[in-house]
Amino acid sequence: MFKCKAVWNKLAPLVRASSTLCLQNARKSVLRHGRRLEMVQKAQMSSGPAGGGGENTLYYVLVGATCLGTGVYAYRTVSGDKERYNERMIDLVNRPKQGPRAAEAVKPVEEPTLTEAPVEEPLVTEAVVEFTESEPVTEPLVEASIPEPTVETLVTESVVEASVPESIIEVSVTEPVAEAPAVTQSEEPLASVVESETEPTPVIITAHVPEASPVSESAAVSEPAPAAEPVESTAAHSDVPEHAPYLLIGGGTASFAAARSIRARDPGARVLIVTEESELPYMRPPLSKELWFSDDPKATETLSFKQWNGKERSIYFQPPSFYVSPTDLAKVENGGVAVLTGRKVVHMDVRENKVKLSDGAEISYEKCLIATGGVPRNLQVIDRAGEEVMKRTTLFRKIEDFRSLEKISREVKSITIIGGGFLGSELACALGRRSTDLGLEVIQMFPEKGNMGKVLPEYLSNWTTEKVRKEGVNIIMDAVVKNVSYKNDKLEIKLKDGRLIETDHVVAAVGLEPSVELAKSAGLEVDSDFGGYRVNAELQARSNIWVAGDAACFYDIKLGRRRVEHHDHAVVSGRLAGENMTGASKPYWHQSMFWSDLGPDVGYEAIGIVDSSLPTVGVFAKATAKDTPKAATEQSGTGIRSESETEAVAVTLKAETTAPPPPVQQKEDYGKGVVFYLRDNVVVGIVLWNVFNRMPIARKIIKDGEQHADLNEVAKLFNIHED
């Protein structure tokens, strides 16, 4: 405001002066003219302030010419700018598409340019382009025409030309007709544009080349590339396919079952399994059962075990020749299953349908299964106990854990197993069996009152504990571990009630923590009650994402929401997920079962919710010598007791052919029978105790979900007295 006023104040007198001057001049001229007109009418003398006639014309001509020149120049500049702008926009739009085209474009361009590598000259291979303004350009501008007229790419040849380190050549492959004039005009500004982009383009190219082209082409492109960087990054990712129609994360039982299901239902399906482990998919039950009972000294290496019929089988679901290599997956004619080992999926982008691996590679998918299973839980006291204790602790789950424990069992004098569930009891029995041969002391401790205390009703749990004791295991019940320390080359376990146990090695079998690390990046729900990814009855977490196996907390239509950690469930849920990934939309309906054998005398199969906190009704018959798991396998002619359920299930034990089963001398004789687990008077779980091949009946009863008045009548359906 002040400024304005100041300026106005300054200007005002000038204005006044000029205005008065004008007025005076005007009056003068008028008067003059007036006088002249009176006096002289012939000569017109324009002596006014406007200037003479001739001068006027010149003035007008000059002004006119200037205006015209300005107009022409402006027009040319504007239209040139417009063309340049258009071209720039096209360049920017094409740059993301530059990848796949880059490979194609670079190849044919390679030949003409490589021959002229050391020469810095404008190289024109296309006759269409006219250089009206051909000034020596420091950046050689190469234009090549490519047979596909529709292709517009922008490729820098910094990757290709090794001997031209500085210059970055931007090759505009343009539609010959339309863009040529634009190219000619914009040549110079384009050169300057190129200069300014010296920095970003190499980065862009190196990033694009590994990602863009399929593996075979990227290999060809990276060959001439001088920079070590692009070569390295392509080499590292060269065995990772960029896209997998079916991507299965995790390489365990559920994943393999899904792969098989997908291949059976979708002919020619291409399935990629990505697993953190270095092994091909294998089954876990033999790791704590059959492999320990094998007579074969090489069992730990070959991981094969003998079935009842003498036939060997491996724990691997299929030998390596079954699988296709990941690099061939996209090309093989009828599709196949490929396994990418030693890679972990660390990030999942659900919106873009792609995952990122631990080595940075990215894989896009159409349908994805998460079957990541879990990791064994550890006791907090052991976690905090220090390295010496951790070195002497095994968390048992994988093949390498089996191998290491097997080796340790031959070296140490005493092993303690913490945990009284399935895994702990099976390992205790397996090690107990070896205890006499190896001079090994086997101790098992758990907080419950008996083995399988959370699964079997108390009377059966007690009975089971006795059996395990007979296998040579020293059982310590009501044991809560308070402290584990390393002293005098031994581990000392202190219990809450003060007892002290000395041992050489500890096996912690205290449960499984489901692996849900991808939940965060994928935005998937994790269940707070059971753990694991929360999925619906069809095992779906979100569109195109399913979860199966140990990691899935699913809705069971009959039994409610649950999470099951058994082998058969992994097979059933994996198969169901595979069916649903190929369009089936079936809910979890076929109830999975599980089984356990503790020694040659005790074996049971179970189905449904088998929780010892539920009220139970058990119906038992007296057992004869014929009622053992061993006898069951021999009679039914099935080497695998659960073969009738699933095809890929481990065998029951069949190790001792020499010693007959010891006679059953118990207070209460729970030889064989059926136990019903009830929830609101409905049978939700059944244990078949030493009765085999009756699982279909049990499954039917659970499926019906009826309230039965007399369970003894229901028990009759099982014919427990017969074989």
Partner 1 sequence: MSYCKQEGKDRIIFVTKEDHEAPSNAELIEDDPNDPYEDHGLILPNGDINWNCPCLGGMASGPCGQQFKDAFSCFHYSKEEVKGSDCVENFRSMQECMQKYPELYPQEDDNDSAPSGGADNAPTASTSTDSLPTSSPDSTPAATENPAAS
Rounded Cα gap, residues 332 and 325, in angstroms:
10
Q: Which of 13, 118, 147, 267 binds partner 1 (CB under 8 A)?
A: 267
Q: How many CB atoms lie within 10 A of CB 28?
A: 12
* Site residue total, partner 1 (CB under 8 A): 71
The CA distances from residue 436 to 431, 432, 439, 452, in Å, are 10, 8, 5, 24
Please report whether residue 646 would count as binding partner 1 according to CB under 8 A: yes
The CA distances from residue 518 to 253, 346, 525, 529, in Å, are 19, 7, 10, 18
**127 contacts 176 by C-beta, under 8 angstroms:** no
By rule CB under 8 A, what string of x and - marks binding of each residue 221-260 to partner 1?
Answer: --------------------------------------xx
Please report whether residue 704 would count as binding partner 1 according to CB under 8 A: yes
Q: Which of 6, 17, 61, 264 binds partner 1 (CB under 8 A)?
A: 264
In the complex with partner 1, the residue whose CB is nearer, 303 or 440, is 303
Q: Which of 638, 685, 690, 702 binds partner 1 (CB under 8 A)?
A: 638
Rounded Cα gap, residues 517 and 526, in angstroms:
10
DSSP class of residue 154 equals: E
Rounded Cα gap, residues 571 and 158, in angstroms:
52
In the complex with partner 1, the residue whose CB is nearer, 136 or 267, is 267
Which residues neighbour 323 within 8 Å (Cβ) at sequence distance 6 or greater?
Answer: 280, 336, 337, 338, 339
Q: Could you tell me the smallest distance in angstroms from the CB atom of residue 525 to partner 1?
A: 25
Which positions from 563 through 622 interact with partner 1, judged by CB under 8 A?
575, 578-579, 586-587, 589-590, 614-622
Q: Could you tell me the smallest distance in angstroms from the CB atom of residue 334 to partner 1?
A: 5
Q: Which two tokens stand for residue 721?
A: 């007295």
Which positions from 330 through 349 interact with partner 1, judged by CB under 8 A?
334, 336-337
Q: What SS3 class is residue 15? A: helix
Beta bridge partners of 476: 445
Rounded Cα gap, residues 473 and 176, in angstroms:
86
Please report whether residue 263 would count as binding partner 1 according to CB under 8 A: yes
Please report whether residue 520 would count as binding partner 1 according to CB under 8 A: no
Q: What SS3 class is residue 550? A: helix
In the complex with partner 1, the residue whose CB is nearer, 196 or 321, is 321
Rounded Cα gap, residues 426 and 455, in angstroms:
14
Q: Where are the beta strands (DSSP E) in 219-292?
A: 243-249, 270-274
**316 contacts 251 by C-beta, under 8 angstroms:** no
In the complex with partner 1, the residue whose CB is nearer, 436 or 613, is 613
> Could you tell me the sign of the dihedral formed by the alpha carbons of 73, 79, 81, 87, in that order?
negative
Rounded Cα gap, residues 667 and 663, in angstroms:
13
Q: Could you tell me the smallest distance in angstroms from the CB atom of residue 643 to partner 1?
A: 5
Which positions from 279 through 318 interact with partner 1, judged by CB under 8 A?
307, 311, 313-314, 316-318
Q: Could you tell me the smallest distance in angstroms from the CB atom of residue 305 to partner 1?
A: 11
- The three-state DSSP-derived secondary structure of 130-198 is CCCCCCCCCCCCCECCCCCCCCCEEEECCCCCCCCCCCCCEEEECCHHHHHHHHHHHHHHHHHHHHHCC
Please report whether residue 449 would count as binding partner 1 according to CB under 8 A: no
Q: Which of 82, 410, 482, 721 binds partner 1 (CB under 8 A)?
A: 721
In the complex with partner 1, the residue whose CB is nearer, 77 or 635, is 635
Q: Could you tell me the smallest distance in angstroms from the CB atom of residue 600 to partner 1?
A: 22
Please report whether residue 321 would count as binding partner 1 according to CB under 8 A: yes
Q: Are strands 602-608 and 593-598 parallel, antiparallel or unpaired?
A: antiparallel
In the complex with partner 1, the residue whose CB is nearer, 402 or 718, is 718
Q: Which of 217, 644, 664, 723 binds partner 1 (CB under 8 A)?
A: 644
In the complex with partner 1, the residue whose CB is nearer, 54 or 319, is 319
Which positions from 363 through 422 interact with partner 1, judged by CB under 8 A?
none
Rounded Cα gap, residues 115 and 607, in angstroms:
74
Element (H, E) at 617: strand 616-621
Please report whether residue 328 would count as binding partner 1 according to CB under 8 A: no
Please report whether residue 458 would count as binding partner 1 according to CB under 8 A: yes
In the complex with partner 1, the residue whose CB is nearer, 396 or 604, is 604
In the complex with partner 1, the residue whose CB is nearer, 24 or 712, is 712
Please report whether residue 698 would count as binding partner 1 according to CB under 8 A: no
Which positions from 99 through 128 interact with partner 1, judged by CB under 8 A?
none
Q: Could you tell me the smallest distance in angstroms from the CB atom of residue 591 to partner 1?
A: 10
Rounded Cα gap, residues 155 and 649, in angstroms:
56
Q: Could you tell me the smallest distance in angstroms from the CB atom of residue 315 to partner 1?
A: 10
Q: Could you tell me the smallest distance in angstroms from the CB atom of residue 332 to partner 1?
A: 9
Rounded Cα gap, residues 627 and 619, in angstroms:
16
